[in-house]
Structure 1
C-alpha cells in the first residue's frame, strides 16, 4: 500500500475543534496558522488549560486578525480583532511566554462559552504547542484501536487524535518505526523526534466534545507509555524542509 496523506488538520485557537484542510504550509515553526490564538486566565496569569473546557465543539476560522467563531450550539460571531493591551507574560505548562491580548465580538463569545473571565490573545509561533509542531498518525493504528475497543465508528473520527498529518497505512503502529528518521511528504521533509504520550482529549468526541469513548484506558492496556504513564499514539516531528503538503501526497520513509 502506498502511504498517502488522507487528512490534514490543525486549529487556529488552542483547544478548539481540529479543522481539516486540503493543503497546509509547513515552515520551521510548523503548520502556518496552527494555534496562533489562545485563551488566557488573567487571574492565574496562564494559558487556559483546555482539556476540561467546553471548547472542543467550537470551530474557529482565522484570517489575519479576523476571526469567525462558531459554537457547538450554532451561535457564532465574526469580526476583526483589535489589540487591547500590551503583551503580557503568562504561564504555559511551566514555560513563560508573551501573549498579546485582543478584543472583539469573537473574543466575547469565547469568554461566554467558557463561563468565567478569560481573554483572547495572540501567541508567538509555536509558543502554545506542547511538543514538536508536527504530528503524524497512520490509519492502520486507528483501525487497530477501533477494533480492540469494538468501536468501528472511531475509524471515521481521526480528528479525535488531532494529528497534523494522517496517512493511509496497512501496518498498525508503523509510525513508531519512523522515530529518528527524516520523512518526505509532499514538498516537505520532517524529522520524526519521538512518540506522543496522550492526555485525555481523545476520550472526547471531536464534534460534540462529549467524553464518549475510554480511548486512554484502551491504549494503556496494550501500548507502551512514557515516564508519566501516558500511552503512546502518533509521533512528533520537526520541519527540516519547509513547503506545502496536500491531500493525496505520498509519504516516503528511508
Structure 2
C-alpha cells in the first residue's frame, strides 16, 4: 500500500502589527472578517499619507512593533524603544493611501513620527485604523470584504512543502519569513495549496481567493534588512510558478467563518478545484 501523508496542520502563525515592519511569531491567532486580531492595524506613511513598505525601505524589516495592552512599543537594536498609545476615539481621521485605496486613519502622534523618521532616514508618521470592519471594504470575489492595511486580502496562507520545493532549486535557501504569511501549513504536498478552495483551520473557515503575486520584498533579509541577492528567490520562482499576473507564492484568503487558530491545529481541506496557477 502507498505510504500515507501526514494530515495537514498549522506549523507557524505570524502577525504584522505595523504594515511592513518585522513580523511576530504567534502561538495563536483570532480571525475576524478583516483578518487576524491586531494584524496591520497600523501603517507607516509619508507626510502626504502615502504608505511606505520594504519595497522602497528595506530597513523597515529591522523595526519591531510589539503590541501592548493599550498600543504598541516600537523598538530596534541599540535604540531606546518608543511607546505608542492607541489614538483617542475623538482623534480626527485623515485620508491615507494603500495602493489604489484611500482609507481613513488616525495619526499616532509626534513621538512615533519622530522615532520612525529617525530610524528610517526620511520624514514619515504612524497611523492607526480604528474600525477595520468598515474603514476599508474591498470587493473580493464579488463580495464586499473588510481588509486592514494589508496589501489586498485579509490573510496569506503558505505551506512548508512549497517552500522546501523552491529551496531545492535555489543555490541559497530562503526562510519563510521572506514571504510574510499569516498561516503556515505543514503536512502537504508541494503546491497543494494552489488547488484549495475552502479550508478549515482551527475553528475558522477560510476561502482561498487568489495566488499571491510576489515582489522585491522576498529578496530582503527580514532580520537585517539587507538584500543578499537582488534576483532571488524571484528569478527561480518565475521559472515554474507564475501566471500572466505575476510570480506567485502562497495563497490569499478571506475569512468565511471567524474563529481561533493555534499552532498544531489540524487543517481540513473542505473543497478543492483546478489549480489557480493555470494561465489566465
User: Structure 1 length as normaliser, TM-score?
Assistant: 0.90
Partner of 2:119: 113
Which of 218, 233, 236 lines up with 2:236 in the alignment?
Answer: 218
Q: Displacement, 1:80?
A: 3.1
**Structure 2, unaligned runs of 5 or more:** 1-5, 133-146, 271-280
Partner of 2:273: none
Q: Deviations over 1:192-230 (max 9, x none)?
A: 111111111111112112112411111112212342xx2
Q: Deviations over 1:116-165 (max 9, x none)?
A: 2211110252242222211111101111111100324x2xx212211110
Are residues 1:6 and 2:27 paired? Answer: no
Partner of 2:184: 166
Partner of 2:168: 147
**Structure 1, unaligned runs of 5 or more:** none
Q: Displacement, 1:82?
A: 4.5
Which of 223, 233, 247 lines up with 2:263 in the alignment?
Answer: 247
Partner of 1:131: 152
Which of 106, 110, 122 lines up with 2:128 in the alignment?
Answer: 122
> How many corresponding residue pairs?
246
User: Structure 2 length as normaliser, TM-score?
Assistant: 0.82
Q: Deviations over 1:88-117 (max 9, x none)?
A: 112221211111102164443212112222
Which of 14, 19, 26 lines up with 2:31 in the alignment?
Answer: 26
Q: Is the 8 A contact 1:67 1:78 kept in 2?
A: yes
* Coordinate RMSD, CA, aligned: 1.9
User: d(CA) in 2 for partners of 1:50 and 1:206?
Assistant: 10
Partner of 2:254: 238
Q: Displacement, 1:247?
A: 0.3
Which of 40, 52, 55 lines up with 1:51 in the alignment?
Answer: 55
SS in structure 2 at match of 1:140: helix
SS in structure 2 at match of 1:249: coil
Q: Displacement, 1:81?
A: 5.2
User: d(CA) in 2 for partners of 1:74 and 1:167?
Assistant: 35
Q: Is the 8 A contact 1:67 1:106 kept in 2?
A: no
